[in-house]
Structure 1
Amino acid sequence: MLLFSILVALMGLALTAGGVYLLSLGGSLYYLLAGVVLLVNAGLGFKRHELTRPLFALFLVATLIWSLWESGYDWWALAPRMGLFMLLAIPLLFSSVADTGGRKVLFPVWAVLGVILLGSIWAKPHEFSGTLDMQVDSESPNLGEAPEASWYAYGRSNMGQRYSPLDQITTQNVGQLEEVWQYRTGDMKRPDDIGETTYQATPLKIGDTLYLCTPHNWLVALDADLGTKRWVYDAQVPMESQRQHQTCRGVSYLPPASGEVPSAERLDVAAETQAAVQCDATLYMPTSDARLIAIDPATGARCADFGENGELDLIHNMPFKQAGFYYSTSPPVVANGLVIVAGSVNDNYDKNSPSGVIRAYDAKTAELVWNWDSGNPEDTAPIGPDQVYTPSSPNSWAIASADEYLGLIYFPMGNRTPDQLGWYRTEHDEKYASSVVALSLDTGQVVWVQQFVHHDLWDMDTPAQPSLIDLDTASGLQPALIVPTKQGDVYVLNRQTGEPIFAIDELPAPQGTVELDHAAPTQPISALTFRPPPMTEKQMWGATPLDQMWCRIQFKSLRYEGQYTPPSVQGTLVYPGNFGVFNWGGIAVDPKRQVMFGMPLYLGFIQQLVEKDGSDMGATNQGEQGINSNEGAPYAVDMRPFLSPLGVPCQQPPWGYVAGVDLKTGEIAYKHKNGTIRDMTPLPLPIKMGVPGIGGPIITEGGVVFLAATVDDYLRAYDLSTGEQLWQARLPAGGQATPMTYLNSQGEQMVVQVAGGHGSVGTTIGDYVVAYKIKR
């Protein structure tokens, strides 16, 4: 009884104090009432009063009724509300103090409530089941220029579908997949690396060789059958503390004019030490020190005729050239004899930053053919040697797609830095930021643009590669472009004209910004959307009532009027956060069945403007999360996930799903929780909660989807028709890269996953490439 009384008294004091503060913010009355009741109960316990047990039983019943009213029958919502109180009752149940009447009241109440609570484990209130129509709608779909057995570009082809026509692995035999080889690159996270050091590469498979890059820009060639090294080219990228990202998502490929697919040689010397050679085929690797390097696929040597001895300095004609402020993390697009390069500009470091210009170079010589600068969009002729591009213009850091038949290339566009301060933007910035832009492959001129966020103040840049398929609609077969967004919308557009295939509406948006700025009165929404409902205090979460109350206090202390609440000095809750419902991993589409598979996520972020005193804050730049200085602007910005004191999201789970969509109708067929807390807790508990992740899926003709991405270290296979998980394999490190599949020389279908982890997400760091095939 004494132990119970002490624990309940401490809990009552904390809940009473916090409850008073929460109530003063307009929050729930429950915590104050609960604190008072517990203090009374503790007083009775110290006196060993006979009402101690009945009062606590009544408190448990009242708390359950309140919990069900707030959250419904949901284990992950009920457990933090009830769990600790149920544990506190155990000393009362087994106390030696004579009070048989009180025990007869408490024990059955405790037991019944325990059964009710445990029963909620099997409830699934946040997901729904359904089936996609797996009928083949197109026998000869446009898959882009990639041989069936290969993987020629980041999304397999420039169509960005992440779909393979291989069908050896099916929903019936996928459970027989086993690991057949593993390769370690040797490129590991270094002590002086920035936090956002990530391994996000999707390999290419060309001929009998796999090609992939590593976070520090090594280009690795592997035997596609055995996973053994053929050669490695190290770009010798110096360390730079002012980069926001240290990653490489992939390389690009120019097929040979001869038509003969190259075969990589096994080298005994380092590839970078070889003299430059004449290249028939070419690999292109962007580097984090803003170079584009052209490599011979056979030998790993640089291509002599490209730029300066196989290298092109992408800093040319930049208005500002701060070290680490500009580089490409995504592979360029190779189309129409051009290599077309965009780049990433550091968010929120300096209002005077490099340009977000997109440039097309001759794929053989590196001669500049055209440049499209969103700050000066009309003039696409190659810039003169003494001219500079527009400072800080909106950039395109994600992967682009191209349709060579239509002569168009499609860029997902970011924002102008600073992201949260809009008064520096020009008319052109306002038009092209946070959009998808279709440019002519011949001239770089804009053909059409569709914006997804007006006057973006939240870093809601378009993060994912557009996926191109030909789609059956009520108006007939249309060339479609599907692009997911951070805010949860999936836009389906005619890729020739930019006209919506699924309707786009405008909704009123919250107003009220800092003095110099303004907010757009409305914001777009697609008819196909995964946007969550507005967050409420009832959704606040924690392991115990104490940290749940802390999250409620934070929620009520922040500014939040729904999606698109403007950033503020007070601190604004941004939900969905700038991590995005969808991020660079994007979606996968099946062009035959005309369906889509994606991984929507739901996490809140806090964005807070920090008034500056005029001093230099350059040393404060902390990357994707933390304070960034916005040099030259009156406000810095502090961005961080909305987390409890225990470091878990303040909003209740699930946080991550897999979902399937019928693209002919725009109907979401299913949505299932995805991933476990296996690697999120000290104990390795494989509890399926629906966890965050970053990475992308692929679809195969066999009706199987492969996806890693989640914060637990697994590669998983799903049934495309239902979304049900069919198979999983434990990875040696975090799988924050999109997998790929191909045929080896024996005609066997292989699946390959890069596993190296994600620095800021916190998954296991490594340097692995892992391959699987069906067990024979």
Structure 2
Amino acid sequence: MIIFSILFALIGLALLLGGVWLITLGGSLYYAIAGVVLLAVGVLIKKNRCAARLLYAAFLVGTLIWSIYESGFDWWPLATRMGMFLILTIPLFISTGTKGKGGNKLLLPIWGATAAITLITLIVPDSSTVSGTLSNETVSANPDTGDVPADSWLSYGRSNLGQRYSPLTQITPDNVETLEQAWQYRTGDLKGPKDVGETTYEATPLKIGNALYICTPHNWVVALDADTGEKLWVYNAKVPAESQRQHQTCRGVSYLPPAGLSTSESIVAVKASRPAENMPSMQCDAQLFLPTSDARLIAIDPETGARCSNFANDGELDLMHNMPFKQAGYYYSTSPPLVAGGVVIVAGSVNDNYAVNAPSGVIRAYDVKTGELKWNWDSGHPDDTAPIGEGEVYATSSPNSWSTASADPALGLAYFPMGNRTPDQLGMYRTPAEEKYATSVVALSLETGQVEWVQQFIHHDLWDMDTPAQPSLLDLDTDSGVQPALVVPTKQGDVYVLNRATGEPIFPITEKPAPQGTIPGDFSSPTQPESALNFKPEPLTEAKMWGATPLDQLMCRIQFKSLKYDGQYTPPSTQGTLVYPGNFGVFNWGSIAVDPKRQVMFGMPLYLAFTSKLIPKEGAALGETNTGEQGVNENAGADYAVQMGPFLSPLGVPCQQPPWGFVAGADLRTGKIEWMHKNGTVEDLSPIPVPIKMGVPGIGGPVITEGGVVFMAAAVDDYLRAYNLTDGEQLWEARLPAGGQATPMTYLNSKGEQMVVIVAGGHGSIGTTIGDYVVAYKLKPNQE
């Protein structure tokens, strides 16, 4: 009994000390009280007295009442509050001695009551779930889906409209369960020992003719036979390792069709006789454009993989030209460029929080055939779009556009999701022009680069809430008639629906009061915009802190009460600020998918809190700096470094209670969220691989098919899943050989069979399984 006595005493002491700490921060009294009780039980156990059982039974009753008061009948919050304490009844059951044997009977009703409560939690509807259905009616019989043949996938979002919608109908909710793997290919490009942490497979393949084109993290372009997955050729851009990059990834390549043909007419890829990087350069008719992580843009022949000698310098364009600062690894493109209106438009990523003086976030348009600079739009000098002169430089560290752009050729406009100026948490370095265009969507003329309109989503962004997602374009039925719409989700949870010709909101945007209180020399906006269609969560409270046991729940509560948090948009601080939704975003680069016929959307909202802390440099021992998007980054030239990361318990799980990830469907005509369900399991997160559906985080995107099926991987368990678009029901899943942190696509092969393809290579910074796979699925024979 001494061991059990010590066990209760140690747990009680930990709860008492932590509970007193929590009380000094203004937190709950429960943990200190629990600590006192468990210390007393530990003393009484030693004497094997019935009083130990009586006291512990009363404690369990009190804990059960407190747990229901705080968490209601939600399973996970209730189970983790009670679980450890119920396990601790075992020593009391098995204790021996002449005194107090009957006390065991006191514990049986507690187990029974807890079992009853557990059953109730399984019956009572999950408060996080929204059940409903999207209309399945055809609103627009012949919607604009881009100039793309039905069997193809010609740009990142299938077309420059960025819809991630395919008109294919072979796969339906009735037959999707018969999907099986058709082929698998391994690229051979794996994460190396000198790679940065965020080395990721995020590519969406293109399907042109009967070939697939995929880029890998180290900027290889792989051409595969669309029927069999057989390699046709590989082009290796030979990108050197660079420790100062924040990302080592490639989300896709872009395509220019042959001269005289529209994008609806395509080429047929043929096998190369030798590795593509050894092919001599050649004059190209059609072209693929590959952005690289060492800041080049390479034009490649789709048939052979040879560089296009007609473009720039023997097929290569140096994107560091005219940059004000040229630190290695600070600037590069991770997303495919936009090919439209006779130009290839390149934006880029500028490292967050590495330096005040960094490369520019300029957006540049080059002639698609020659590489000649046609215009440049720099948010630091937004009115001067004429090609920059020799010896001139772009604005320092101006807001960049690291995600994917969209275009409407009929309007002659390109739409760029804009990020922020580095340093992201320090606003005192920004010019009025940079303030205007940061964290927004900006519409630029394809011909001149001049601004047509801008809609900002955060004023004076101090939270790294870059607009992360490609806008989706569709024609939307509204009370005012059909409007050309642009739909773009944000990290903060808003989904903005705008008229893409004018930038005017279709769904109302209102200004909401925002928390104040910044470091000296900075300010925060008194209000922030909010869209009528949004997936914003309720603010966090101490009661929503979570953990596997009451001990790490207590530590999360202490962290929560120690951080500065006044709700969303609490300014950064030297105390440490809770950022919720966090930098990971409610939505990220995976964006949403829209159905232009039904005029509905499918998305994957996520809810993870982050923390940020400003570190005054004077006298500070920063240790290793510039650690990527998480950890400490030095902000060279600024008075403060910044430390950022997810808000986790000592066991490495999120401090806020689950669920953390959902799938959701909304009607774009009404702005109503019709359904929202937990998504994904903890199978690949927990030591024991049990597929418990908790609703987990993820990063990646969905694709909608006209057949009414949505495909998406993204979650941190290694599965590709199919969902019913109408009600969100999961219809099918397939185990992937690695993390599926990419957006799938679908096409018809040469036999007329609908294929679904996903790149599965994992994501270095979120810890999913690393690999180098491309996996294709199709229906079993005679299932169409």
Please point out which of 138, 151, 154 is paired with 1:152: 154
What is the CA deviation profile of residues 568-613 of structure 1, one whole-angstrom value per residue up to 9, with x for unaligned ones?
0000000000100000000000000000000000000000001102
Contact 1:461 1:486 (8 Å CA) reproduced = yes
Task: Determine which of 125, 130, 133 is the counterpart of 1:131.
Answer: 133
List aligned pairs for 1:263-274, cutoff 5 A: 263-274=268-279
Task: Provide the residue aligned with 1:189 in structure 2.
Answer: 191
Q: Is the 8 A contact 2:518 2:524 kept in 1?
A: yes
| Equivalent pair of 2:48/2:95 in contact (CA under 8 Å) | no
**Does the residue aligned with 1:113 lie in a helix, a strand or coil?**
helix
CA-to-aligned-CA distance 1:247-295 (integer Å, 9 cap, x gap): 0000000011143622222124110111111111100000000000000
Q: CA deviation at 1:46?
A: 1.1
Structure 1 Cα separation of the partners of residues 714 and 408 of structure 2? 28
Once residues 617 and 4 of structure 1 are traced to their aligned partners in structure 2, the CA distance between those partners, rounded to angstroms, is 44
- Checking the alignment, whether the CA contact within 8 Å between 1:73 and 1:125 is kept in structure 2 is no
> What is the aligned partner in structure 1 of residue 52 from structure 2?
52
Q: Is the CA contact (8 Å cut-off) linking 2:200 and 2:761 kept in structure 1? A: yes
State the 1:20 CA deviation. 0.4
Q: 1:393-432, aligned counterparts within 5 Å?
A: 393-432=398-437
Q: Which residue of 2 aligns with 1:498?
A: 503
The match for 2:115 is 114
Residue 93 of structure 1 deviates from its aligned partner by 1.9
1:104 aligned partner: 105
Q: Which runs of 4+ in 1 moved over 6 A?
A: 614-618
Pairwise CA distance, 1:6: 2.2
CA–CA separation in structure 1 for the residues paired with 2:601 and 2:374 = 36
Provide the aligned length of Structure 1 versus Structure 2.
776
| Structure-2 residue corresponding to 1:201 | 203
Q: Report the equivalent of 1:742.
A: 747
Decide which of 735, 749, 756 is 1:730's aligned counterpart: 735
Correspondence 1:292-303 to 2 at 5 A: 292-303=297-308
For 1:606-625, list aligned pairs within 5 A.
Answer: 606-613=611-618, 620-625=625-630
State whether residues 325 and 346 of structure 1, in contact with CA within 8 Å, keep that contact through their aligned partners in structure 2. Answer: yes
Counterpart of 1:588 in structure 2 is 593
Cα deviation per residue 1:614-666 (whole Å; 9 max; x = unaligned)?
89979510001000010000000000100001010000100000000000000
Q: Which residue among 329, 349, 352 is the counterpart of 1:347?
A: 352
- Distance apart, 1:146 and its partner CA: 1.0
Contact 2:616 2:639 in 1 (8 A): yes
Q: Does 1:239 align with 2:244?
A: no
**Local SS of the residue matching 2:50:** coil
AA paired with 2:572?
Answer: P
Deviations, residues 681-730 of structure 1 (Å, cap 9, x unaligned):
11101000000000000000000000000000000000000001000000
Per-residue CA deviations over 1:489-533 (Å, capped at 9, x if unaligned) read 000000000000000000111111110100111000000010001
Distance across 1 between alignment mates of 2:524 and 2:97: 64
TM-aligned CA deviation for residue 94 of structure 1:
2.8
Q: What SS does the aligned partner of 1:51 have?
A: helix
Are 2:624 and 2:632, in contact at CA under 8 Å, matched by a contact in 1?
Answer: no
Which ranges in structure 2 are unaligned for 5 or more consecutive residues? none
**Paired residue for 1:553?**
558
Alignment of 1:302-701 (within 5 A): 302-613=307-618, 620-701=625-706
The question of whether the paired residues in 2 share the 8 Å contact of 1:57 and 1:110 is answered with no
Counterpart of 2:92 in structure 1 is: 92
Return the letter of the residue paired with 2:130: F
CA deviation after TM superposition for structure 1 residue 150, in Å: 0.2
Q: Contact 1:487/1:576 (CA < 8 Å) preserved in 2?
A: yes
Q: d(CA) in 1 for partners of 2:677 and 2:166?
A: 23
| 8 A contact 1:707–1:739 mirrored in 2 | yes
Cα distance between partner residues in 2 of 1:515 and 1:632: 17
- TM-score for the superposition, normalised by structure 1: 0.99
Note if 1:143 corresponds to 2:148.
no
Aligned to 1:713: 718
- Describe the SS at the equivalent of 1:560: coil
405-414 or 109-118: bigger deviation: 109-118
CA deviation vs aligned residue, 1:102-130 (integer Å, no higher than 9, x gap): 11211222232133235424541211210
Q: Secondary structure at the match of 1:620?
A: coil
Q: Calculate percent identity across the aligned residue pairs.
A: 71
Distance (whole Å) between structure 2 residues aligned to residue 380 and residue 262 of structure 1: 34
Asked if the contact 2:425/2:464 (under 8 Å) is kept, the reply is: yes
Aligned partners of 1:141 and 1:117: how far apart in 2? 49
Amino acid aligned to 1:310: G
**Structure 1: 5+ residue stretches without partners:** none
Please state how far the C-alpha of 1:379 moved relative to its aligned partner: 0.4
Which residue of structure 2 lines up, in the alignment, with residue 79 of structure 1?
A: 79
Distance 1:95 1:618, change over 3 A: closer
Any conservation in 2 of the 1:3–1:91 contact (CA below 8 Å)? no
Q: Return 735-744 or 121-130, whichever deviates more.
A: 121-130
Structure-2 residue corresponding to 1:768: 773
Aligned-partner residue type, residue 129 of structure 1: S
* Residue 211 (structure 1) shift: 0.2
Q: Distance in 1 between matches of 2:729 and 2:742?
A: 21
Question: In structure 2, what residue type is equivalent to 1:17?
Answer: L
Alpha-carbon distance in 1 for matches of 2:123, 2:581: 27
Residue type of the partner of 1:141?
Answer: P
SS at match of 1:659: strand
Q: Which amino acid aligns with 2:294?
A: D
Instruction: Tell me how far 1:395 sits from its aligned partner.
Output: 0.3
> Matched residues in 2 for 1:633 and 1:711: separation?
36
Is the contact between residue 50 and residue 101 of structure 2 (CA under 8 Å) also seen in structure 1?
Answer: no
Maintained 8 Å contact 2:12/2:35: yes
Q: 8 Å contact 2:593–2:603 — kept in the other structure?
A: yes
Could you tell me how far 1:2 is from its partner in structure 2? 4.0
Q: What is the alpha-carbon distance in structure 2 between the residues aligned to residue 734 and residue 231 of structure 1? A: 25
Kindly report the root-mean-square deviation, in angstroms, between the aligned alpha carbons of the 2 structures. 1.2
What one-letter code is carried by the residue in structure 2 that aligns with 1:90? Answer: I
Q: Give the Cα separation in 1 of the matches to 2:285 and 2:623.
A: 45
| Separation in 2, partners of 1:617, 1:103 | 55
Out of 727-736 and 101-110, give the one that drifted further: 101-110
